[in-house]
Structure 1
Amino acid sequence: MTKILMVCLGNICRSPLAEGILRSKLPYEDFVIDSAGTANYHTGSNPDNRSITVGNKYGINISKLMGRQFSVRDFDDFDIIYAMDGSNFDNIIRLARHEADKAKVKMILNEVYPDQNYDVPDPYHGGTHGFENVYKMLDEACDIIAEKLK
């Protein structure tokens, strides 16, 4: 069983979308996919309604997911940890206890653009168009991730 964690800042926009998208592409019996935020602003909250709406548009229901904060324990619980942007990546790496922890952390868009370290932009302060763009970026990255893992 491969365990994958998607991480953004608040765990209500990008990472729950990434979680839902990747879950839709991989067999549930072989993979555990979860999401978390580096901050605790939205612990216990459902995803942003705009993320829920764009997910629903593509047949992905993330409405029941609950925000939680990334913790050191996640290094033990997950095989791969995908950061949505450089700030999230740095925050995760700061919590790493050793090189093995650090080796698990990747920038998600490096799946599409290897070694470029592009950020998935945070759509929180924008309109619905930003959520659509984020969905398309994450969908493309998750297609590549799923193909590698199958």
Structure 2
Amino acid sequence: MATTVSAPNGDKISVLFVCLGNICRSTMAEGVFRSIAKDPSSPYYNLIGTVDSCGTGGYHIGDEPDSRTLSTLRDNGITNYRHEARQLRDSDFKKFDYIFAMDNSNHSDIRRRFKKLDGQKAKVMLFGEFSGTGRKEAIQDPYYIGGDSFEKTYEQCRRFSDNFLATTFPDVSQSKR
């Protein structure tokens, strides 16, 4: 059962994860975050509203996540994740409370676009600001690296998600995490 706390503005918070093509890192982050926050047994259940992901580029619009992303999620018990790649939209800056970039290049691209828009509510950050190590970490694109890079991406997404939730909702019972 979830502890009763409010999101920063009293509403459920919304989170968008962004990488370049929206088939590897951002989809991994979305799947991991959703599995934590949307699980009815999670102490964060009912605190998170919309969770989504997209890419800064339009290379894979309409595609499913990379098969290695889906395989890694399944290997870690996340079996119900579905997504079609999409590109970042101007409306995302009004819709989401947090927009998390997976690396510095995408973070710069998002910030440049954000500065050109008026009346936005989104807080644009590098997801790796929640590394828990005291330093910002970028999530390298596993698409071309191969090996255990998808598992490393999963580990980072899990750690960053846990740290973000603990930081954002410090009143949630430690014993419930």
Q: TM-score by structure 2 length?
A: 0.77
Q: CA deviation at 1:15?
A: 0.4
**Could you tell me whether the CA contact under 8 Å between 2:96 and 2:121 is conserved in 1?**
no
Task: Name the residue aligned to 1:80.
Answer: 98
- Structure-to-structure mapping, 1:28-107, within 5 angstroms: 29-31=46-48, 32-61=50-79, 63-96=81-114, 97=116, 101=120, 104-107=123-126
Deviations 1:125-149 (A, max 9, x none): 1224110111111111011112233
Matched, 1:130 2:153: no
Deviations 1:39-85 (A, max 9, x none): 00011000000000000011113652110001111100100000000
Q: Distance in 1 between matches of 2:121 and 2:134?
A: 16
Deviation of 1:101 after TM superposition, in Å, equals 4.3
RMSD over aligned Cα atoms = 2.1
Q: Which has the larger radius of gyration?
A: 2
Consecutive unaligned residues of structure 2, counting only runs of 5 or more, are 1-11, 39-44, 170-177
Aligned residues: 150
After superposition, what is the alpha-carbon deviation per residue over 1:106-140, rounded to whole angstroms, capped at 9, x for unaligned?
11111115774431000001224110111111111
Helix, strand or coil at the partner of 2:148: helix
Q: Which residue of 2 aligns with 1:139?
A: 158
Q: Is the 8 A contact 2:28 2:154 kept in 1?
A: yes
Per the alignment, do residues 143 and 59 of structure 1 end up closer, same or farther by CA in structure 2, a change over 3 Å counting? same
